[in-house]
């Protein structure tokens, strides 16, 4: 099982957080749970790393934060994606898909001279 | 206006979360850990295990806490900055809108601010350039001028070569001394290149002159001791940067080249840096072109007091100490060398020597400009004040609707600062134009004037003044903005209490303006009257219809006979030119030089150092008639007074009194070296150095008997205008004096104007300031009275309805105006009595107590204030009671 945990590639966490937020504003723990659920726990992710990603995104105006109340009537800091964030998410997603397709294509083709 | 609301909402939202962004950061982590633990417990973990696991999964809790606190702080600062900028933008927009709505006020405020700031910046540039900026030498504060006190205890003589050498070697307080030949004359050398001869000014300097000043040649080298020792005329020369550029095309290979200067071969050994401006420091208004060595030889020693001397103080030695030492040394040298002229050294800082004459004048201008700025600021404050009280209801309404008092203050301040900065921008532009104009004026004989320009320090100082003015102007009315909106709203436009208070403050401001304007008026009338007195001073000759032209050939005639032949031909031709009533020659016209030496009477015993001194002039026959100098006794020089005839001399009345008090000088003899000269005439006294200086002795030698002159001016009296005459004269002289006709004719009046120029400069500037101040003060009075009339329309209407005649109403308004004016005049007189005595040294023929100047100032203010009050008074008289009452 431990062998199945993947180290997260640099920069992809920010994109994942934006993806999490593009549907609805969430607080930090919700985002953590969202990533864990979607990856089925396959990504090696410290919770603090996620907050660092949120700080980065906030400083680059890709998310904004404000305090709100959870369903359980608890105070929590909610993050919301901005227009800049959405644009960045779209661009990063397209880039990632092309990158993955290219690498996959190479790795899965039969070996031989170019 | 959604973009105006948005920042407001953002601020509101942030206010809710303001309670410590740092605490929020901690809180967020705490909530996260709590939620994680709950999730783990839901999955079946024990409470303590769940807490540990939550922390483990989180990672570095403390690190994250620190990080998020830092981020929160950064965001807070950024938000505050954005809010500040939003608010500033809002204030600026508001101020611009208000200023646009009140275009009349805005334009007026900008104009007086621009003029006030422009004047300040110009004068500050002058003070900065002439007085404050160090001279273009190394460590200039250690440089001193070493004068030689004349017999009369006032004038400054040059220093004899022997004394110069001994002072240099014996003095312990000076690390070195150097000097230049004090009697070089402008244009006395001729440079011949490619067959063209050009007049140059050649300054002989002692060997150590440039090293002492700390000036190193840009190219080549300074003089060597060997070059300075050659007594047979100079063979090496150092060029100024200007001559090098203009005549040698800035060619670096010029070093070592041999050129012909005044028919002698001279090798160029160096080029001085452009920053070295000899003449603007030592002889303002003239130019120096090249420097040659002045040998400290026995021959030059025999010429008497020839050297103008500067020295450098040893480290740690004060000017007072050096003075004590050199005075003692002077007494010692005088006793030790009876064959030399006496020497009485007097030391002052070089800066004081060069600029001292102008320091009081420039300081006075600085004060004048401060007064002008005060008036401008006070006037604007008063106007702002009026606008604020006119806007009293609007402001009260805004306060009632919840506008913070601080915000209103800030908006008024923004408006004032905006005006001040606008005024400063225009003012600095004006100042740049004005200083450029001034520094290119050759007519003003002020040292270092050419170095004056508006620099960064001036711009910074000016902007500070403007901002300060803006704050003062803005703060006063802003603080008066209504404290209790209820009062103001009820008060309306007719209010008695508030309106009364406003009027009192504004009256005080207007009184200040009048007082300051009076001080300026008194100061400028004193100067103006001095100037008139100076111009009225008896010159001793008649400058009208008198023209002059420099006629000595570039290469001096080889002997007296050749010179006489040349000048005879020049005179013959010019005298036969139509319109010429008289013409003659002089080697030194009044105001053009200060050559003097001792002229003792025959068989008279004088105490050493008390030889009668006279200003020396070489003139030709008919000089006195041409100049309009009265011949009091005896006869004029004649063409027959040539080398074969007995030696003769003419003296002026002062000299006659000095030589033979109470006796008849005609037929007496004076001694000049081996020769004894008979006095054949006595002429009237002539001003020689400045228009203000007293008459002193003058001695005239005939040009035909001794060849002791280099430069020669032709003076011509004619009824023709200069343009017509110059053309005719050029045609007449061209065949004999082809070089001289290239010089331009000038009037004698030009020479007098040049001498009077520093004084005229001062009078013009100060009168300008005074006029400006009076105009602004008058506008201040007008605005105040006019505002009062508008406010009291209803009261005036009632008065008229109750039977007051329109004349009563007008008189009441005028009484009010005059009351303010008189209070201002009393205060202004008191201020003037305190300030004006400081300018005593600049006055001539009047004292600071001059009642006429005070009277004129007061009268001018009364008239101007009366005129300013008359306009609103007439308006008050036309108030129609029925409309005025209904309007209320």
Residues B628-639 have pLDDT tens digits of: 999 999 999 998
Contact A46 B75 (CB under 8 A): no
Q: Please, which pLDDT band fits residue B18 given cuts at 50, 70 and 90? A: very low
The CA distance from B92 to the nearest CA of chain A, in Å, is: 28
Say which of A47, A58, A67 has its CB closest to residue B32.
A47
Residue A1, pLDDT > 50, answer no
pLDDT of residue B234: 65
pLDDT for B304-344, tens place per residue?
888 999 999 999 899 999 999 999 999 999 999 888 888 89
Q: Please, which pLDDT band fits residue B1 given cuts at 50, 70 and 90? A: very low
**How does B265-294 read in b/e, with b if 16+ C-beta sit within 10 Å?**
ebebbbbbeeebbbbbbbbbbbbbbbbbbb
Residue B546, pLDDT > 80, answer yes
pLDDT of residue B309: 92
pLDDT for A14-32, tens place per residue?
999 999 999 899 999 999 9
pLDDT of residue A80: 93
* pLDDT average, residue stretch B387-412: 73
Residue B238, pLDDT > 60, answer yes
Contact A67 B16 (CB under 8 A): yes
- Helix %, strand %, coil % of chain A (to 5): 55, 20, 25
pLDDT of residue B608: 65
**How does B602-636 read in b/e, with b if 16+ C-beta sit within 10 Å?**
eeeeeeeeebbbbbbbbbbbbbbbbbbbeeebbeb
Rounded distance between C-alpha atoms, residue B884 and residue B888, angstroms: 7
Say which of B13, B60, B64 has its CB closest to residue A66.
B13
* pLDDT average, residue stretch B385-406: 73
Residue B656, pLDDT > 70, answer yes
Q: Residue holding tokens 């422009």?
A: B118
Q: Which of A41-55, A62-76, B98-112, B392-406 has the lowest mean pLDDT?
A: B392-406
pLDDT of residue B447: 58
> Which structure tokens are listed for B866?
């009366």
Q: B242 touching A, CB under 8 A?
A: no
Q: Which of A21-25, A49-53, B7-11, B684-688 has the lowest mean pLDDT?
A: B7-11
Contact B17 A28 (CB under 8 A): no
Q: Which of A81-90, B620-629, B776-785 has the lowest mean pLDDT?
A: B776-785
Which chain B residues are Cβ-neighbours of A77 within 8 angstroms? 24, 27-28, 31
pLDDT of residue B118: 85
User: Which of residues B485 and B250 earns the better pLDDT score?
Assistant: B250
Contact B67 A52 (CB under 8 A): yes
The closest alpha carbon to B372, from B641, B79, B120, B83, belongs to B120
Residue B828, pLDDT > 90, answer yes
Residue B497, pLDDT > 50, answer no
User: Which of residues A67 and B445 earns the better pLDDT score?
Assistant: A67
Which residues of chain A are at the B interface, by a Cβ-Cβ cutoff of 8 Å? Answer: 27-29, 32-33, 46-49, 51-52, 55, 58-59, 66-67, 74-77
pLDDT for B745-757, tens place per residue?
888 888 888 888 7
* Helix/strand/coil for B220: strand
Q: Please, which pLDDT band fits residue B478 given cuts at 50, 70 and 90? A: low
Rounded distance between C-alpha atoms, residue B328 and residue B323, angstroms: 9
pLDDT of residue B4: 38
Residue B245, pLDDT > 80, answer yes
pLDDT of residue B12: 53
What does R_g of chain B's alpha carbons equal in angstroms?
Answer: 39
pLDDT for B801-821, tens place per residue?
888 888 888 888 889 889 989
CB neighbour class for A4 (10 Å; exposed up to 12, middle 13-18, buried from 19): exposed
| Dihedral, CA of residue A67, residue A69, residue A72 and residue A75, to nearest 10 | 40
pLDDT of residue B143: 92
Q: B13 touching A, CB under 8 A?
A: yes
CB neighbour class for A11 (10 Å; exposed up to 12, middle 13-18, buried from 19): exposed
Residue by residue, DSSP assigns B571-637 as HHHHHTSTTEEEEEEESS-TTS---EEE-PBTT----TT-PPEEEEEEE-TTHHHHHT--EEEE---
> Which structure tokens are listed for B425?
């921008």
Contact A67 B17 (CB under 8 A): yes
Residue A2, pLDDT > 50, answer no
Say which of A29, A49, A52 has its CB closest to residue B35.
A29
pLDDT of residue B185: 72
What does pTM read for this prediction? Answer: 0.66
pLDDT of residue B490: 55
Looking at chain B, the whole-number percentage of residues with pLDDT higher than 90 is 21
Q: Please, which pLDDT band fits residue B547 given cuts at 50, 70 and 90? A: very high
Residue B5, pLDDT > 50, answer no
pLDDT for B353-370, tens place per residue?
887 777 777 788 888 888
Contact B39 A33 (CB under 8 A): yes
The CA distance from A55 to the nearest CA of chain B, in Å, is: 7
Q: B77 touching A, CB under 8 A?
A: no
Q: Which of B14-28, B51-65, B727-741 has the lowest mean pLDDT?
A: B14-28
Which chain A residues are Cβ-neighbours of B67 within 8 angstroms? 51-52, 55
Q: Which residues contact A107 (CB under 8 A, 6 or more apart)?
A: none
* pLDDT average, residue stretch B450-477: 71
Which chain A residues are Cβ-neighbours of B71 within 8 angstroms? 55, 58-59
* Helix/strand/coil for A27: strand
Q: Please answer whether residues B238 and B293 qualify as being in contact, where contact means their C-beta atoms are separated by less than 8 angstroms.
A: no
pLDDT of residue A85: 93
Residue B616, pLDDT > 60, answer yes
Q: Please, which pLDDT band fits residue B499 given cuts at 50, 70 and 90? A: low
Q: Please answer whether residues B220 and B268 qualify as being in contact, where contact means their C-beta atoms are separated by less than 8 angstroms.
A: yes
Q: B68 touching A, CB under 8 A?
A: yes
* pLDDT average, residue stretch B828-851: 87
What does R_g of chain A's alpha carbons equal in angstroms?
Answer: 17
User: Using the 8-state DSSP alphabet, how is residue B129 labeled?
Assistant: I
Residue B492, pLDDT > 50, answer no
Going across the sheet that includes A63-69, the strands are A26-27, A75-81, A63-69
Contact A48 B36 (CB under 8 A): no
Average pLDDT, chain B: 83
Q: Please answer whether residues B752 and B546 qualify as being in contact, where contact means their C-beta atoms are separated by less than 8 angstroms.
A: no
pLDDT of residue B482: 54
User: Which of residues A83 and B692 earns the better pLDDT score?
Assistant: A83
Q: Please answer whether residues B54 and A42 qualify as being in contact, where contact means their C-beta atoms are separated by less than 8 angstroms.
A: no
Residue B176, pLDDT > 70, answer yes
Residue B62 CB coordination number (10 Å): 9
Q: Which of B7-21, B296-310, B532-546, B558-572 has the lowest mean pLDDT?
A: B7-21
> Which structure tokens are listed for B643?
């080398």
Looking at chain A, the whole-number percentage of residues with pLDDT higher than 90 is 44
The CA distance from A78 to the nearest CA of chain B, in Å, is: 10
Contact B58 A48 (CB under 8 A): yes
Average pLDDT, chain A: 87
Contact B59 A47 (CB under 8 A): yes
pLDDT for B258-309, tens place per residue?
888 887 888 999 999 888 878 777 876 667 888 999 888 888 888 888 899 9
pLDDT of residue B627: 95
> Which structure tokens are listed for B837?
């005595």
pLDDT of residue B568: 93
Residue B87, pLDDT > 70, answer yes
Contact B74 A59 (CB under 8 A): yes
Residue A83, pLDDT > 90, answer yes
The CA distance from A93 to the nearest CA of chain B, in Å, is: 27
Q: C-alpha distances in angstroms, B527 versus B523, B841, B842, B854? A: 6, 11, 8, 12
pLDDT of residue B769: 86
pLDDT of residue B613: 81
Contact A48 B59 (CB under 8 A): yes
Rounded distance between C-alpha atoms, residue B335 and residue B270, angstroms: 41
pLDDT of residue B624: 95
């Amino acid at each position: 099982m431990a062998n199945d945990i993947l180290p997260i590639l640099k920069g992809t966490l920010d994109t994942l957080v934006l993806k999490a937020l593009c549907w609805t504003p969430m607080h930090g723990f919700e985002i953590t749970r969202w990533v864990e659920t979607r990856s089925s726990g396959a990504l090696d992710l410290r919770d603090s790393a996620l907050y660092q990603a949120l700080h980065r995104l906030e400083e680059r105006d890709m998310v904004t934060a404000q305090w709100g109340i959870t369903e359980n009537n608890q105070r929590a800091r909610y993050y919301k994606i901005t227009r800049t964030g959405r644009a960045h998410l779209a661009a990063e997603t397209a880039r990632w898909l092309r990158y993955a397709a290219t690498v996959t294509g190479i790795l899965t083709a039969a070996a031989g001279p170019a | 206006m959604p973009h105006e609301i948005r920042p407001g909402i953002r601020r509101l939202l942030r206010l809710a979360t303001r309670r410590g962004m740092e605490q929020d950061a901690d809180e967020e982590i705490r909530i996260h850990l709590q939620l994680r633990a709950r999730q783990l417990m839901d999955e079946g973990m024990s409470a303590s295990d769940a807490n540990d696991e939550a922390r483990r999964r989180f990672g570095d809790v403390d690190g994250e806490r620190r990080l998020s606190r830092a981020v929160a702080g950064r965001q807070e600062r950024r938000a505050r900055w954005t809010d500040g900028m939003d608010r500033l933008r809002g204030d600026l927009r508001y101020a611009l809108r208000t200023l646009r709505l009140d275009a009349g006020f805005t334009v007026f405020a900008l104009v007086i601010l621009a003029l006030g700031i422009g004047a300040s910046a110009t004068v500050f540039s002058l003070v900065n350039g002439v007085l404050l900026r160090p001279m273009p030498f190394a460590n200039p504060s250690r440089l001193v001028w070493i004068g030689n006190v004349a017999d009369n205890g006032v004038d400054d003589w040059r220093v004899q070569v022997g004394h110069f050498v001994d002072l240099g070697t014996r003095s312990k307080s000076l690390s070195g001394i150097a000097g230049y030949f004090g009697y070089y004359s402008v244009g006395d050398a001729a440079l011949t290149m490619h067959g063209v001869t050009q007049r140059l000014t050649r300054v002989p300097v002692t060997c150590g002159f440039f090293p002492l000043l700390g000036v190193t040649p840009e190219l080549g080298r300074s003089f060597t001791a060997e070059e300075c020792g050659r007594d047979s005329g100079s063979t090496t020369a150092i060029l100024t940067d200007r001559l090098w550029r203009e005549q040698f095309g800035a060619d670096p290979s010029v070093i070592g080249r041999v050129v012909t200067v005044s028919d002698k071969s001279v090798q160029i050994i160096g080029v001085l840096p452009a920053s070295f401006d000899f003449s603007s420091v030592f002889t303002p208004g003239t130019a120096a072109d090249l420097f040659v060595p002045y040998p400290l030889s026995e021959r030059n020693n025999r010429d008497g007091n020839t050297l103008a001397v500067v020295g450098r103080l040893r480290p740690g030695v004060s000017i007072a100490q050096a003075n004590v030492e050199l005075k003692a040394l002077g007494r010692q040298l005088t006793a030790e060398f009876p064959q030399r002229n006496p020497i009485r050294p007097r030391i002052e800082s070089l800066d004081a020597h060069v600029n001292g004459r102008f320091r009081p004048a420039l300081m006075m201008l600085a004060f004048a400009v401060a007064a002008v700025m005060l008036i401008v600021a006070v006037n604007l404050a008063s106007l702002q004040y009026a606008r604020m009280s006119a806007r009293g209801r609007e402001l009260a309404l805004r306060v009632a609707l919840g506008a913070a008092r601080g915000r209103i203050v800030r908006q008024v301040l923004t408006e004032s600062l905006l005006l001040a900065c606008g005024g400063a921008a225009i003012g600095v532009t004006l100042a740049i134009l004005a200083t450029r104009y001034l520094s290119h004026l050759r007519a003003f004989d002020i040292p270092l004037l050419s170095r004056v320009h508006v620099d960064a320090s001036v711009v910074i100082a000016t902007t500070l003044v403007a901002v300060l003015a803006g704050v003062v102007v803005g703060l006063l009315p802003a603080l008066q903005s209504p404290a209790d909106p209820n009062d103001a709203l009820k008060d309306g436009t007719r209010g008695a209490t508030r309106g009364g208070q406003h009027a009192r403050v504004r009256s005080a401001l207007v009184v200040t303006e009048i007082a300051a304007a009076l001080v300026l008026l008194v100061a400028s009338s004193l100067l103006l009257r001095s100037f008139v007195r100076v111009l009225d001073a008896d010159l001793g000759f008649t400058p009208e219809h008198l023209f002059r032209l420099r006629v000595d050939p570039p290469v001096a005639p080889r002997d007296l006979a050749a010179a006489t032949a040349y000048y005879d031909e020049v005179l013959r031709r010019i005298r036969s030119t139509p319109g010429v009533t008289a013409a003659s020659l002089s080697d030194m016209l009044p105001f053009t030089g200060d050559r003097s030496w001792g002229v003792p009477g025959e068989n008279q015993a004088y105490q050493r150092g008390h030889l009668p001194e006279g200003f020396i002039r070489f003139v030709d026959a008919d000089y006195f008639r041409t100049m309009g100098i009265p011949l009091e006794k005896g006869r004029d020089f004649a063409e027959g007074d040539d080398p074969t005839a007995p030696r003769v001399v003419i003296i002026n009345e002062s000299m006659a009194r000095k030589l033979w008090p109470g006796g008849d000088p005609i037929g007496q003899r004076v001694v000049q070296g081996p020769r004894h000269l008979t006095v054949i005439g006595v002429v009237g006294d002539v001003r020689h150095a400045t228009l203000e200086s007293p008459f002193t002795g003058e001695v005239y030698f005939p040009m035909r008997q001794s060849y002791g002159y280099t430069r020669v001016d032709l003076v011509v009296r004619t009824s023709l205008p200069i343009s017509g005459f110059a053309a005719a004269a050029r045609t007449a002289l061209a065949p004999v004096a082809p070089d001289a006709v290239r010089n331009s004719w000038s009037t004698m009046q030009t020479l007098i104007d040049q001498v009077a120029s520093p004084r005229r400069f001062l009078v013009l500037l100060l009168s300008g300031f005074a006029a400006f101040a009076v105009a602004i003060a008058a506008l201040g009075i007008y605005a105040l009275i006019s505002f009062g009339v508008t406010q009291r329309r209803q009261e005036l209407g009632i008065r008229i309805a109750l039977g007051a005649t329109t004349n009563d109403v007008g008189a009441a308004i005028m009484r009010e105006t005059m009351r303010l004016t008189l209070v201002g005049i009393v205060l202004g007189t008191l201020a003037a009595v305190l300030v004006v005595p400081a300018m005593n040294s600049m006055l001539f023929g009047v004292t600071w107590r001059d009642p006429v100047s005070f009277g004129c100032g007061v009268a001018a203010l009364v008239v101007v204030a009366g005129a300013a009050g008359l306009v609103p008074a007439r308006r008050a008289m036309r108030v129609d009671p029925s409309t005025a009452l209904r309007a209320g």
